[in-house]
Amino acid sequence: MPRALSGEEVEGMIAKFGDGVRRAILAGFDGVEIHGANTYLIQQFYSPNSNQRDDEWGGSRDNRARFPLAVLDITHKMARQYADDAFIIGYRFSPEEMEVPGIRFDDTMYLLEKLAARGVDYLHFSVGATLRPSIVDTSDPTPLIEKYCAMRSDTLAQVPVMGVGGVVNAADAEQGLDHGYDLIAVGRACIAYPDWASRIAAGEELELFIDSTQREALHIPEPLWRFSLVEAMIRDMSMGDAKFKPGDVC
């Protein structure tokens, strides 16, 4: 059965995040992205739905923000100790929760302002579509990125913001940039086309699918191949005329 971590265990968990950052630096990575999204542990601490604690790690919004801020603090500490000044620290977040109570957009803006004040190199919206509107106020069609740009402080405006979700072709990325993102992340399209950036730069128009015979050629590990979002892209090419160009792989 799930149980609340003790105060000592919370501190130990923060230390483990720090250990992960240290290992990433020693392994040669140029930066890390703190995963504060998708209902994983960091988001669970900030969420009034999952965080039912009555100690210094729960209750008020300030208390619930302590864990994500502590993870950022220890990330900075490890970077100062083991990395050079060019080391990049990003933070990924889910802007809203549907649950009641749950994280609302003003809660997210509150946390992001605190993260920006402590120092973060970029922020990463975790949404299924770059221009997704609110999942809480479904009567409002305004993309959340537009609300974000309108609500952010001058300090927060200095932090680049990254969008993701459904980006396959150049027009998809350009649309996100036009609405306020500074950076665009590409996931599934890069799985299908490892040379996605080169293809887009060359002006190609791509379809988001993977030939069912190309798993080994694309070096897609079995667990990822069976992941639902990847599985949905797989086509049996004997059933249609779609063309697949796997790109160069090493």
The secondary structure of 57-98 as a DSSP string is TSSSHHHHTHHHHHHHHHHHHHHHHHS-TT-EEEEEE-----
User: What is the band of 3 on the pLDDT scale with cuts at 50, 70, 90?
Assistant: confident
Residue whose structure tokens are 């900030």: 46
Output the pLDDT for position 48.
98
User: What is the band of 76 on the pLDDT scale with cuts at 50, 70, 90?
Assistant: very high
Region 85-109: mean pLDDT is 98
Domains annotated for the chain, with CATH where assigned, are 7-186 (3.20.20.70), 206-250 (no CATH)
Report the predicted TM-score, pTM, of the whole model to 2 decimal places. 0.91
Residue whose structure tokens are 């630096």: 25
- Is the pLDDT reported for residue 249 higher than 60? no
Tens digit of each residue's pLDDT (9 = 90 or more) over 179-201: 999 999 999 999 999 999 999 99
Q: Identify the weakest region by mean pLDDT among 20-29, 124-133, 179-188, 211-220.
A: 211-220
Output the pLDDT for position 1.
72
Active site residues: 40
User: What is the band of 116 on the pLDDT scale with cuts at 50, 70, 90?
Assistant: very high
Residues with Cβ within 8 Å of 130's Cβ and at least 6 positions away in sequence, in order, are 143, 145, 163, 164, 165, 166, 167, 172, 175, 176, 179, 181, 184
User: What is the band of 2 on the pLDDT scale with cuts at 50, 70, 90?
Assistant: confident
The secondary structure of 88-151 as a DSSP string is EEEEEE-----SSS---HHHHHHHHHHHHHH--SEEEE--SSTT---SS-TT----HHHHHHHH
